[in-house]
């Protein structure tokens, strides 16, 4: 079972997934652009994440490089499945309906969503 990260941990993981590996300073520089946060807070969170097994730390010279140990897609799937169960009682239709009604979906996005539905329908018929 993959441990689900907290919101703050997810912010850090998003930086690490994008960069593949980073120092605490690099993560701090990315996150502090969008919200006020102390360097020591990022450091402590990344230490906790190391203990939880969400990231691993490699020492290269004086720098401590962190990299994620959990895959982005698996984490996303777990979080979406958790949301689906908790908020929409397992109904994918209600989730999709909520997303489409609550956001201005571009024609390009609608086209891609239709393609995904058609692909899922084909795969379901082949099972």
Q: Report pLDDT digits (tens) over 11-69.
A: 999 999 999 999 999 999 999 999 999 999 999 999 999 999 999 999 878 889 999 99
**Per-domain residue ranges of the chain:** 1-90, 91-127
Look at the block and give the residue holding tokens 């994620």: 68
Cβ 46 vs Cβ 12: under 8 Å = yes
**pLDDT of residue 1 exceeding 70:** no
CATH of 1-90 given 3.10.129.10, 3.40.50.12160, 1.10.10.10, 3.20.20.70: 1.10.10.10
Across the strands, what pairs with 22?
66
Cβ 30 vs Cβ 77: under 8 Å = no
Tokens matching residue 115: 């393609």
| pTM (two decimals) | 0.78
């Amino acid at each position: 079972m993959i441990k689900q990260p907290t919101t703050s941990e997810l912010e850090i993981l998003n930086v690490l997934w994008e960069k593949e590996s980073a120092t605490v300073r690099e993560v701090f520089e990315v996150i502090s652009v969008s919200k006020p946060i102390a360097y020591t807070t990022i450091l402590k969170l990344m230490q906790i994440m190391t203990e939880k097994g969400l990231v691993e730390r490699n020492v290269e010279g004086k720098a401590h490089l962190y990299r994620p140990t959990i895959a982005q897609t698996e984490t996303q799937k777990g979080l979406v499945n958790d949301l689906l169960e908790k908020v929409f009682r397992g109904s994918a239709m209600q989730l999709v309906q909520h997303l489409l009604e609550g956001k201005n979906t571009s024609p390009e996005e609608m086209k891609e969503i239709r393609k995904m539905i058609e692909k899922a329908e084909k795969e379901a018929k082949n099972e």
